[in-house]
Amino acid sequence: MVTGCLDLHQSFKSADSSSVPIPPPLPSKSDGHKKRLGPSCVSTATRDMCDRLFNDGYKADVVIYTDNGSIIYAHANIIGTASTVIKGMLKQAKRHGKWHTISIRGVPHDAVRVFIRFLYSSCYVKEEMNEFIMHLLLLSHAYVVPQLKRVCEWHLEHGLLTTENVIDVFQLALLCDFPRLSLISHRMIMKHFKELSATEAWTAMKKSHPFLEKEVRDSVIIEANTRKERIRKRNDQRIYSQLYEAMEALVHICRDGCKTIGPHDKDLKPDHAPCNYEACKGLESLIRHFAGCKLRVPGGCVHCKRMWQLLELHSRVCADSDQCRVPLCRNFKEKMEKQSKKDESRWKLLVKNVLGSKKVGGSPFFLPVTSC
């Protein structure tokens, strides 16, 4: 001690004799980039210590009663910190010496044990999670343990949600405010409705929550109708697009000619370059039939009737009948004035849909969509 004091006194004397003290070294660049442990980076040793503290019950001060008269020992400071609900229960619990006594009933004893162990170390055994997922989901909500709640949701979304438990999970998700889980469960029920509606779980839901069962049925009906309507609109859109292509091909054949068919003043070559209009092939066959059919009057032949309809549709989408080279274009324009309002409204709707099927870059030979 004396030697240490003397050395210290001598160092002060040497410091007084020096003019300027030596400054400390500057921090290195690597010091500012040292990795820091985040809140989720708990070491294995710490987790093992928490598990050992729970399993051994060293200096435990809480007795938790579960079903069948079983008991779990715990530490008030740990479980009270992990769950505000349990903290409130401990404050109101009767004390017997150093012991607080609380009860967690309604779920299996082993599920409660897994739950309390999670409060210590945020750890679990995968097999136990698979077995008690429903009970742990309920406990995480009842005792407000958000971390366990997220863990349960994740496991259900990534494999534990099946057709065997989806109805129970759906009801529990609605009851315990799990919006994402309820949506995922509802989608699975919709997908496997026919299979699930014949199960005992569905019957139990119908008895306990009849309004919920009715809402699910109604949503299935709405979804089926929506799917049918979507398919119908897609099919209609495909037909309108095909009609537009047929109109373009008809103008192409009558104005420029295509391989072996076209206007009389065009020099047609069978070995001409391939046509860019996919509808030309079918339309060429229809025109040849129309030219040689003996029942060409409207209503006499199915194929001719289709050709008449295409010619009339063209006249309605044509922008300039005076310059148009498609046969009967002007005649059909004059015929429009004599049609009934009902037929005229139908044709206008068809023309609007056909022209509207071409979203970008409509043909210059056709009317703009806005004028329909």
234 and 154 in a common domain: no
Q: Model confidence over 318-343: pLDDT tens digits?
A: 888 888 888 888 888 888 877 788 88
245 and 143 in a common domain: no
So what's the pLDDT on residue 325?
85
So what's the pLDDT on residue 39?
38
Tally helices (H) and strands (E) across the chain.
16, 4
Q: Would strands 62-65 and 71-74 be described as parallel, antiparallel, or unpaired?
A: antiparallel
Average pLDDT, the chain: 82
Residues 254 and 191: their CA atoms lie apart, in Å, by 51
Residues 372 and 368: their CA atoms lie apart, in Å, by 7
Backbone angles phi, psi at 102, to 5 degrees: -135, 170
In DSSP notation, 173-242 reads HHHTT-HHHHHHHHHHHHHTHHHHTTSHHHHHHHHH-HHHHHHHHHHHHHHHHHHHHHHHHHHHHHHHHH
Task: Report which secondary-structure segment, H or E, holds 96.
Answer: strand 95-96
Residue 12 has pLDDT above 60, yes or no: no
Chosen domain end from 107, 131, 160:
160
Chosen domain end from 136, 160, 184:
160
134 and 237 in a common domain: no
pTM value > 0.75: no
Residues 171 and 212: their CA atoms lie apart, in Å, by 9
Residues 88 and 80: their CA atoms lie apart, in Å, by 8
350 and 238 in a common domain: yes
Q: Which two tokens stand for residue 91?
A: 């404050």
So what's the pLDDT on residue 176?
86
346 and 235 in a common domain: yes
Flag whether 171 is in a domain: no
Flag whether 245 is in a domain: yes
Please report, for the domain that includes residue 321, its CATH number: 1.20.1020.10
User: Which of 12-26, 56-70, 167-181 is predicted with the least confidence, judged by mean pLDDT?
Assistant: 12-26
Q: Around Cβ 39, how many Cβ atoms within 10 Å? A: 5
Comparing CA positions, the residue from 278, 343, 282, 350 lying closest to residue 316 is 350
Q: Count how many domains the chain has.
A: 2
pLDDT band at 284 (very low <50, low <70, confident <90, very high): confident
Residue 366 has pLDDT above 80, yes or no: no
So what's the pLDDT on residue 271?
61
Residues 29 and 342: their CA atoms lie apart, in Å, by 84
So what's the pLDDT on residue 7?
44
237 and 128 in a common domain: no
Flag whether 35 is in a domain: no
- Edge to edge, what strands does the sheet with 71-74 contain? 71-74, 62-65, 99-103, 95-96
Please report, for the domain that includes residue 70, its CATH number: 3.30.710.10
Residues 197 and 220: their CA atoms lie apart, in Å, by 11
236 and 156 in a common domain: no
So what's the pLDDT on residue 38?
33
Chosen domain end from 106, 134, 160:
160
Flag whether 7 is in a domain: no
Flag whether 31 is in a domain: no
**SS3 call for 54:** helix
Residue 31 has pLDDT above 60, yes or no: no
- Percent residues over pLDDT 70 in the chain: 81
Higher-scoring residue by pLDDT: 277, 105:
105
So what's the pLDDT on residue 360?
54
Can you give the residue range of the structural domain that contains 313?
Answer: 230-261+275-356
Flag whether 179 is in a domain: no
Residues 62 and 86: their CA atoms lie apart, in Å, by 11
154 and 76 in a common domain: yes
So what's the pLDDT on residue 26?
53
Flag whether 73 is in a domain: yes
Q: Would strands 99-103 and 95-96 be described as parallel, antiparallel, or unpaired?
A: antiparallel
Signed CA dihedral, 243, 248, 253, 255: sign only: positive
Flag whether 95 is in a domain: yes
pLDDT band at 363 (very low <50, low <70, confident <90, very high): low
